[in-house]
């Protein structure tokens, strides 16, 4: 690697018009929103109080997946597996076979890239109720390609029997944790951890597995979004509303199975259909929506907001989100441009 490329990849950047920020930042900007600490960990503890079959496993990352909250509450039901993701998922499969409901946590890159075959053969093929809950999905860390799981949805979407969830905020993480605990099969859930913004709670939102829901209505364009990009879409819609551009936001937290009925109805009535996701443009929500539309003969004017098909730089998240066009400002500019 050349010196210039090394600097490009690993030195912190300075956002235009703002102070320098550390490349170590791994949390989201959520200006104007209340935050909730460790919603996954606290929700799992609440569920486990009445279900002794729930156990927690982690690959040396309990603090960084909020599973430490569960470990403190139920130390006898917590298993620290060390940095051995393949062994952790195999052990989770064994526990599931014995009647337990394992929640196994790590970073999304390590589950999708390092342990895929073990998840496929030990968990998905047997349809075991292992819940795979993974932090740092997509571009939620500035650590660079080793920790940025920008292609995890593409990797897992082709795996039979696996439900895939990409929640937006603290409210949905807590609700989805309860829902996947009650579900009979394997689940992969992307996780926002630490201080997580509460975006949907004030809207009275209720998570339903397999369902997409409108969280804002407008007639000029429809944005189908998942994960924190739903928060970004709502913020962009507010900015555009000041310009008399009204945007619908259809939140689709279940990536697989996709709520094709709701999405196709929205697509058929959309002046412009935009998908927004914290994932590479290849193989995620956007291509799932596009595929559903093509198969059913629904042909809206279609655009994607997503990460590029490349290994991303390291740096400060606000700078990277602007650079890769997934910030609120970038969303506004793109949607405005497509409508004019």
Write out the catalytic residue numbers.
Answer: 85
Whether 123 and 88 have beta carbons less than 8 Å apart is answered as no
Largest CA distance in the chain: 60
What b/e readout covers 262-284, taking b as 16+ CB neighbours within 10 angstroms?
A: bbbebbeebebbbbbbbbbbebb
Whether 18 and 149 have beta carbons less than 8 Å apart is answered as no
**CA nearest neighbour of 213 among 262, 179, 168, 265:** 262
**Per the structure block, which two tokens stand in for 103?**
């929640």
**Per the structure block, which two tokens stand in for 14?**
């300075």
What is the number of other CB atoms lying within 10 angstroms of the CB of residue 18? 10
Whether 305 and 274 have beta carbons less than 8 Å apart is answered as yes
């Amino acid at each position: 690697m050349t010196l210039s490329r090394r600097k490009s990849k690993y030195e912190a950047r300075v956002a235009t018009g703002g102070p320098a920020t550390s490349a170590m930042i791994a949390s989201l900007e959520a200006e104007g929103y209340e935050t909730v600490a460790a919603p996954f960990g606290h929700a799992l503890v609440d569920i486990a109080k009445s279900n002794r079959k729930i156990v927690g496993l982690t690959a040396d990352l309990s603090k960084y997946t909020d599973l430490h909250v569960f470990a403190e509450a139920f130390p006898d039901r917590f298993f620290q597996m060390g940095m051995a993701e393949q062994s952790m998922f195999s052990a989770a499969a064994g526990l599931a076979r014995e009647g337990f409901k394992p929640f196994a946590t790590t970073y999304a890159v390590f589950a999708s890239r390092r342990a895929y075959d073990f998840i496929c053969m030990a968990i998905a093929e047997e349809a075991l109720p292992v819940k795979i809950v993974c932090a740092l999905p997509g571009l939620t860390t500035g650590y660079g390609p080793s920790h940025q799981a920008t292609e995890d949805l593409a990797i897992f979407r082709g795996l039979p029997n696996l439900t895939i969830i990409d929640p937006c905020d603290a409210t949905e993480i807590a609700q989805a944790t309860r829902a996947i605990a009650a579900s009979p099969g394997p689940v992969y859930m992307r996780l926002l951890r630490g201080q997580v913004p509460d975006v949907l709670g004030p809207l009275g939102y209720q998570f339903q597995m397999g369902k997409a829901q409108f969280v804002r209505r407008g007639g000029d364009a429809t944005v189908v979004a998942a994960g924190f990009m739903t928060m970004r879409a709502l913020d962009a819609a507010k900015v555009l509303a000041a310009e008399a551009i009204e945007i619908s936001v259809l939140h689709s937290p279940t990536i697989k199975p996709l709520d094709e009925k709701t999405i196709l109805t929205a697509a058929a009535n959309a002046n412009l259909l935009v998908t927004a996701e914290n994932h590479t443009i290849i193989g995620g929500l956007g291509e799932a929506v596009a595929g559903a539309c093509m198969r059913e003969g629904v042909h809206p004017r279609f655009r994607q907001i997503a990460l590029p098909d490349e290994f991303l730089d390291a740096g400060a998240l606000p700078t990277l989100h602007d650079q890769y066009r997934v910030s609120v400002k970038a969303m506004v500019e793109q949607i405005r441009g497509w409508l004019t």
